[in-house]
Amino acid sequence: MDSRSLFSVRRLSKTFPSGRVALSCVDLEVARGEFIVIAGANGSGKTVLVKIMAGLMDASSGEVFFEGKPLSQAADALRVSAGLVFQDADAQIIGETVAEDASFGPKNLKLPQDAVKEQVLAALKAVGLEEKADFPARSLSGGEKRRLAVAGILAMGCKTVIMDEPFANMDWPGVRSVLQIAAKLKSDGKTVIMLTHELEKTLALADRLAVICGGRVVLDGTPRETLDNLKPEYGVRDPRCSYRAVEDCSWL
């Protein structure tokens, strides 16, 4: 295995008890420090893939290696160094207030109290939520909850950040703040795995673009290579178009 390999996904399959096949023989390598975007239509298997990679769901067959070890032996390393920002931001809120919520991860890592405070404050600042530190976390808007989830991961100092549809419900400043964070993670040498349909918002940051269709990785390459090989049935729109007139502003 390549020494830069962070995640190595081998022949991963997932079939739910209902018989629904969510993943079918997926192979995927993610190198340390890489920024990979994974795109695919609704229901193509993106979230199931990263949930298995993050150790939150069992596979039906196949294996995931993290830092060269099978996930079953890498649970501790994974917990400390990889964070997943959920697609469903509500499902990720644990704390009463915004600051408490962002503190949950670093407290769990048993960091000293002062360090927790400092890291939480810096993380809330990074996502533009420092003024809402004492607000009830559940009272935040959808986009703010997503920023809070990002803050929680940042506060843990994770080396790998997995973001599942980070732009959903986000206004323009929100999208920009997530992108600025993602760019900073990248320049700090961290690994970013981003699942999104909204390629036009983020592809410039990506080293790689993979496409999943019907539970299979159908394309995996540089963003340019992947876009050049898109097929309509993959359900991913090539973002390399420019809007010049109101009449052009349609995804139809």
Site for Mg ion in 85-124 (CB under 5 A): 87
Task: Give whole-number Cα distances, 30 to 1, 64, 67, 191, 222, in Å.
Answer: 12, 11, 10, 8, 13
Contact between 185 and ligand ATP by CB under 6 A: the answer reads no
Contact between 162 and ligand ATP by CB under 6 A: the answer reads no
Helix/strand/coil percent split, the chain, to 5:
40, 25, 35
- CA 115 to chain CA centroid, nearest Å: 25
Q: Which is nearer to ligand ATP, 3 or 42 (CB)?
A: 42
Smallest distance from ligand ATP to CB 87, Å: 6
Report the alpha-carbon distance of residue 250 to residue 237 in Å, rounded: 12
Residue 90 is classified by DSSP as G
Contact between 44 and ligand ATP by CB under 6 A: the answer reads yes
β-strands 191-195, 160-164 pairing: parallel
Contact of residue 22 among Mg ion, ligand ATP, none (CB under 5-8 Å per partner type): ligand ATP
Site for ligand ATP in 104-123 (CB under 6 A): none
Q: Which is nearer to Mg ion, 106 or 215 (CB)?
A: 215
Smallest distance from ligand ATP to CB 213, Å: 10
Contact between 43 and ligand ATP by CB under 6 A: the answer reads yes
Report the alpha-carbon distance of residue 48 to residue 129 in Å, rounded: 29
Q: Which is nearer to Mg ion, 155 or 178 (CB)?
A: 178
Contact between 91 and ligand ATP by CB under 6 A: the answer reads no
Q: How many CB atoms lie within 10 A of CB 26?
A: 25
Site for ligand ATP, rule CB under 6 A: 16, 18, 20, 22, 40, 42-48, 87
